[in-house]
A and B are shown apart, each in its own frame.
Chain A
Amino acid sequence: MSEKPKFAMYWAASCGGCEIAVLNVHEKILDIDANFEIVFWPVAMDAKVKDVEAMPDQSILITLFNGGMRNKENEEMAHLLRRKSQILVAFGSCACEGCIPGLANLSSAQSLFETVYHTPSTENPQGLYPQPQTSMQEGELFIPAFNPVLKTLDQVVAVDYYMPGCPPESHQIAAVIDLLVAVLQGKASLPARGATIGVGMSTVCDECPRTRNVKKIKQFVRIQEMTTIDPQLCLLEQGLPCNGPATRSGCSALCPKASAPCIGCYGPAEGVIDYGARLITAFSSVIDSKDPQEIDRILDGIPDPAGQFYRFSLAKSLLRAGKAAWKVE
């Protein structure tokens, strides 16, 4: 009956916010429905992995894949959908660059288990941890094995396009849907493979309505320490570590508009290879000192450099993970 191109969306290790962002396009969902046959989308429809496995390779035109690669099951789904899809989009920060859960790469999987299954409210005198296989009286039970580090989608399979954001903003999702429909109608062509889509080509600062006076600062401050937050002035110039200068535009500077610093969820700006390195450069350029000791003191005002510079991008960064994460117990 339907000769429409096939569309799929899947979540690996994620929070569900990407799905909510897609649902928040409201009536645009109908455009997807009108132009595509939705063949697999666990949140929205009765979908079965078996059905996907039965499809010929390359039979899905486009798959939006969100979530990071936290366990073996996530990786298996990535391989399956890569095989079945002509176009695989890393959708949202987790799939693109690891997002907040990627900060787990600063510690070993062992220490993660030791923490989670021994929190102060956990009673675990036998030191039990979840196991891939457990023998119960009635039989064997299985859960997917946990990976030592969280990987991004493109560290597991080849990715055609990247659509960052935590989550991608709904107006950007709508714009990408419009583009896809135009491509299908022959009115537009696809961007170059490997491109980042649904974004701006500049930085959050360029979208931010706050005034910049190219003022330099003598100290960094933390938001709860600020007696007032000037509603018009650049947050970085008020001393607040704001990640706008290194972060890709596309969100329309939502957080700075609400007097909260950009935390970098749209990932590195166009052309930036390592997000943290670019941000360090940006912060360095606003420091008002040439005295190494004073510079050190000012930089001490950033209490958590690993989190500040790699909050969303650690798993994709040149660092990828801390030393501890690679240690095999």
Chain B
Amino acid sequence: MQRISIDPITRLEGHGKIEIFLDEEGEVANTYFQIPELRGFERFCVGRPVEEMPLLTNRICGVCPEAHHMAAAKAADAVYHVDPPRPAKLLRELLYSAFFFADHTTHFYALAGPDFIVGPDAPVAERNILGVIHKVGLETGGKVIQARKFGHLVVEMIGGRKVHPCTSVPGGLTKGITEEQRQQIEQMGRWAIEFARFSLQAFNDIVLGNQAYVDLILGDLYTHQTYSIGLVNEKNQVNFYDGKVSVVAPDGERIGKYAPNEYMDWIAERVEPWTYLKFPYLKKIGWKGFVDGKDSGVYMATPLSRLNAADGMSTPLAQEEYERFYSTLGGKPVHQRLAIHWARLIELLYAAERWVELATDPEITSDHVRIVPSEKPTEGVGIVEAPRGTLTHHYWTDERGILTKVNLIVGTTNNYAAIQMSTRKAAQSLIHRGQVTEGLLNRIEMAFRAYDPCFGCATHTLPGQMPLEVTIRDARGEMIETIRQFC
């Protein structure tokens, strides 16, 4: 007898769970994407000194600690009303560019690559990084490892550690870099640009050169009309470290840009009792449920949304790719979720170009990397783009700089409602009359993998490595099938 209640196995594996309910006809009535964990940083950071936040919030996510480190450092600068010296900002952004490069590389080759390079319908046993290397050659595998190594090396040189950097403090950094380090960083950055171009070429040849893949990308299955958000500089070009958040409607109209300290006018979060993670949405538009369209406050914060929300890229090669992207896909904005993978590679190239740009700035080796705050600490917001979406840290302190309140809206969380919708749509399109096949699983996975979800930020799962369990129930709530896979 398949009693619904919770299968102990389900709970044991529940890093992320999709529940699918079928109606009398065996059609999908609804789906729920549940996040089963909470740690509570917003509570236990209260009482801590604000300068520790770049270290404490690193531990929200060991995959993207650099993002939390930077958002926390910028929020702490704002709390002290201090603007770090230019060399400090350059160094932080340099670290951040190298981090983005390593992170996007991992996602494209190890996590998303198998779907495209090996193929979405290839046997499960081949749909992994080894399958990718088999297809593109061992030499490329070596390059991927090298790309990750280089990224981490730069993070360590500037941030002091490979995982959980420690050098950003209110007002700047604890240390600078030497000319010898700068030269190494520049050299690695030049290699990174070539690697990014190579990756775009590979995407071009393997994915865009294959009509079946192009159809998959452009098909309705993976399309949602939502708002797009992303950080832009004063010229409305994509920036990962600093700027204002641009908000673009499903029809492409920019409805506004907000500075970090204005985020609460724009973003609100909703609580549902069946999951530990909250659902952010655009406050000005309002929550209308898990639905598409201009009247629904659901938005996405991904590489694709960053491109949609911006007018272009600030570096030349990435700008060329940006133009090619929109001319190929029929103009802005692009709503096909699988195009996130292509957008990610354009960001990969931008990250590498920006890395070299910063490493060759005459001020990058300056010792002037910190100023001592002179004003009383009060309140401040820091925003950066995490690889998986806009990351917001908001702190309130007493006059000694001890935290009295903390608010965090993390990268992947932004996309929770959109991921919910994408997986539901995939299930609705693929399950009919109670028929479930193994191929369904990967198609549903592809729906959320595009977002590169990192519930490490809310729970503890590597980007795209969401261990997935799908439970199918009939109209009476009886479990008729469970499919599981750790992708």
Residue of A nearest to B269 (CB): A122
18 extra interface residue pairs, beta carbon distance < 8 Å, beyond A16-B456, A263-B55: A13-B39, A15-B456, A16-B61, A20-B63, A49-B12, A49-B13, A73-B14, A103-B45, A104-B39, A115-B43, A123-B269, A123-B270, A124-B270, A128-B272, A129-B273, A138-B473, A140-B5, A231-B175
B213 surroundings in chain A (CB, below 8 A): none
| B-contact 0/1 string along A124-144, CB 8 Å cutoff | 100011110110111111111
A123 surroundings in chain B (CB, below 8 A): 268-270, 283, 287
| A-contact 0/1 string along B135-157, CB 8 Å cutoff | 00000000001000100100000
Residue B373 contacts which of A137, A143, A224 (CB distance < 8 angstroms)? Answer: A224
A-to-B contact residues, CB < 8 Å:
11-21, 24, 26, 42-43, 45-50, 53, 67, 70-73, 76-77, 80, 99-101, 103-104, 106-107, 111-112, 115-117, 119-124, 128-131, 133-134, 136-144, 146, 166-167, 170, 222-227, 229, 231, 254-255, 257-260, 263, 265, 303-304, 306-307
Contact at A226–B12, with CB atoms within 8 Å?
A: no
A73 surroundings in chain B (CB, below 8 A): 11-12, 14, 36-37
Contact at A13–B473, with CB atoms within 8 Å?
A: no
A276 → chain B, closest Cβ, in Å?
15
A141 surroundings in chain B (CB, below 8 A): 19, 32, 34, 274
B82 → chain A, closest Cβ, in Å?
8
Question: Contact size class for B?
Answer: 35 or more
B401 within 8 A of A: yes
Contact at B60–A76, with CB atoms within 8 Å?
A: no
Contact at A140–B59, with CB atoms within 8 Å?
A: no
Residue of A nearest to B59 (CB): A100
| A-contact 0/1 string along B26-45, CB 8 Å cutoff | 00011010111111111111
Contact at B372–A11, with CB atoms within 8 Å?
A: no
B406 surroundings in chain A (CB, below 8 A): 119
Contact at B160–A257, with CB atoms within 8 Å?
A: yes
Query: How far apart are the CA atoms of A133 and B6 in the complex, in Å?
Result: 9
B39 surroundings in chain A (CB, below 8 A): 13, 70, 101, 104
B340 → chain A, closest Cβ, in Å?
21
A18 surroundings in chain B (CB, below 8 A): 62
Contact at A119–B32, with CB atoms within 8 Å?
A: no
B169 surroundings in chain A (CB, below 8 A): 223-224, 260
A20 → chain B, closest Cβ, in Å?
5
B120 → chain A, closest Cβ, in Å?
16
Instruction: Answer whether A131 and B11 are a contact pair too, CB < 8 Å, given A140-B4, A259-B167, A260-B167.
Output: no
Instruction: Answer whether A122 and B268 are a contact pair too, CB < 8 Å, given A24-B162, A70-B39, A143-B276.
Output: yes
Residue of A nearest to B460 (CB): A14
Contact at A142–B10, with CB atoms within 8 Å?
A: yes
Contact at A13–B460, with CB atoms within 8 Å?
A: yes
Contact at A303–B268, with CB atoms within 8 Å?
A: no
Residue of A nearest to B12 (CB): A49
Contact at A222–B401, with CB atoms within 8 Å?
A: yes
In B196-242, the 8 Å CB interface with A consists of none
Residue B460 contacts which of A16, A45, A106 (CB distance < 8 angstroms)? Answer: A16
Residue of A nearest to B30 (CB): A138
Show 26 residue pairs from A and B whose CB-CB distance is below 8 angstroms, ordered by the A residue: A15-B65, A16-B456, A17-B163, A17-B164, A43-B465, A49-B9, A73-B14, A101-B39, A119-B42, A119-B407, A121-B267, A122-B278, A123-B269, A128-B271, A139-B477, A140-B5, A141-B32, A143-B36, A143-B275, A223-B169, A224-B169, A224-B170, A260-B167, A263-B52, A265-B164, A303-B49
Contact at A224–B13, with CB atoms within 8 Å?
A: no
A130 surroundings in chain B (CB, below 8 A): 38, 271-276
**Count of A-B residue pairs with CB < 8 Å:** 268
A49 surroundings in chain B (CB, below 8 A): 9, 12-13
Contact at A136–B274, with CB atoms within 8 Å?
A: yes
Instruction: Answer whether A103 and B49 are a contact pair too, CB < 8 Å, given A71-B36, A80-B12, A143-B14.
Output: no
B408 surroundings in chain A (CB, below 8 A): 119
Contact at A106–B4, with CB atoms within 8 Å?
A: no
| A-contact 0/1 string along B250-265, CB 8 Å cutoff | 0000000000000110
A46 surroundings in chain B (CB, below 8 A): 124, 485-487
Contact at A144–B21, with CB atoms within 8 Å?
A: no
Residue of A nearest to B57 (CB): A100
Query: How far apart are the CA atoms of A101 and B162 in the complex, in Å?
Result: 21
A224 surroundings in chain B (CB, below 8 A): 51, 80, 169-171, 372-373, 401
Contact at B473–A76, with CB atoms within 8 Å?
A: no
Query: How far apart are the CA atoms of A12 and B161 in the complex, in Å?
Result: 24
B330 surroundings in chain A (CB, below 8 A): none
Of the listed residues B278, B408, B484, the one surrounded by the most CB atoms of chain A closer than 10 A to its CB is: B278
A228 → chain B, closest Cβ, in Å?
9
A143 surroundings in chain B (CB, below 8 A): 14, 34-36, 274-276
A113 → chain B, closest Cβ, in Å?
8
Contact at A116–B62, with CB atoms within 8 Å?
A: no
Contact at B274–A131, with CB atoms within 8 Å?
A: yes
Query: How far apart are the CA atoms of A224 and B168 in the complex, in Å?
Result: 10
A107 surroundings in chain B (CB, below 8 A): 43-44
B462 within 8 A of A: yes
Contact at A258–B161, with CB atoms within 8 Å?
A: yes
Residue of B nearest to A143 (CB): B36
A98 → chain B, closest Cβ, in Å?
11
The 10 nearest A-B residue pairs measured at CB:
A17-B62, A258-B160, A138-B21, A259-B174, A139-B477, A15-B62, A142-B6, A115-B43, A16-B456, A134-B274
Residue of B nearest to A80 (CB): B12
B175 surroundings in chain A (CB, below 8 A): 229, 231, 258-259
Residue of B nearest to A46 (CB): B486
B278 surroundings in chain A (CB, below 8 A): 117, 122
Residue of B nearest to A255 (CB): B166
Contact at B271–A124, with CB atoms within 8 Å?
A: yes
B402 → chain A, closest Cβ, in Å?
6
Query: How far apart are the CA atoms of A226 and B371 in the complex, in Å?
Result: 9
